[in-house]
Amino acid sequence: MTTERQPLRADARRNREAILAAAAELLGARGDDAQMEEIASHAGLGIGTVYRHFADKRSLVAAIVGRRFEAATDLALAAEQLTDPTEAFERLLYGYLESVEADSAFRRALLGPQEPRWDAIAEQKVALGDVVERIVTRAVEAGVLRSDFDADDFVLITRGAMANMTGDGDWRRHVQLQLEGVRGAPSGSAPGA
């Protein structure tokens, strides 16, 4: 039996948004050291309100990741509409990374030692993964990417770039180096040539 989630009242939506904004700021600046009480205070709300929306910090982190995945899915769907497989892949890759550059809470959540509650955001994760898979498959079939490249490799590149987002833009060089290693072989050349 599934239960449909009731839409939140306007005040509850505002409270949830305030909690997510406060959490993104504090978790982004201090990581797991930020406490739920501090997040509540930063949002201008009581701790009970925070716990009505999020059972614990991992649930709150999952919501931050889920929102970013939803935005990335929109970006990926737009990239998928491009007819050129190279342009579609690069628009997805660079667009996703540019969107997370200022979101240190999201990056910490993905790269940190404690994973978010994926079960809480399974739908968003699958939706993004499906579009990434289609874009990557099209790029591989077009010879843009090497034949053994897959969506998991996309994740590895993006996580490597996120780990190098130090504020000076070096992540772009990291991605460029990675792309040079995963490009498909030019027509008529042997792999490794």
Of 95, 112, 74, the C-alpha closest to 154 is: 95
* Residue whose tokens read 């190279």: 86
Domain count, the chain: 2
Domain check: are 84 and 43 in the same one? no
Please indicate, yes or no, if residue 121 is contained in any of the structural domains.
yes
pLDDT of residue 58: 87
User: In the predicted model, is pLDDT for residue 95 greater than 90?
Assistant: yes
Average pLDDT, the chain: 87
CA contacts within 13 A on the Cβ side of 74: 6
pLDDT at 193 over 50: no
Q: Which range marks the domain in which residue 17 is found?
A: 10-54
Q: 46 and 120: one domain?
A: no
Check whether residue 91 and residue 167 sit in a common domain: yes
Q: Per residue in 27-81, pLDDT tens?
A: 888 888 889 999 999 999 999 999 999 999 888 988 988 999 999 999 999 999 9
**What values do phi and psi take at 145, rounded to 5?**
-115, 150
- Domain co-membership, 106 together with 157: yes
Q: Are residues 110 and 37 in the same domain?
A: no
Does residue 192 lie within any of the structural domains?
Answer: no
Residue 8: which pLDDT band, with cuts at 50, 70 and 90? low
Give the CATH number, domain containing residue 167: 1.10.357.10
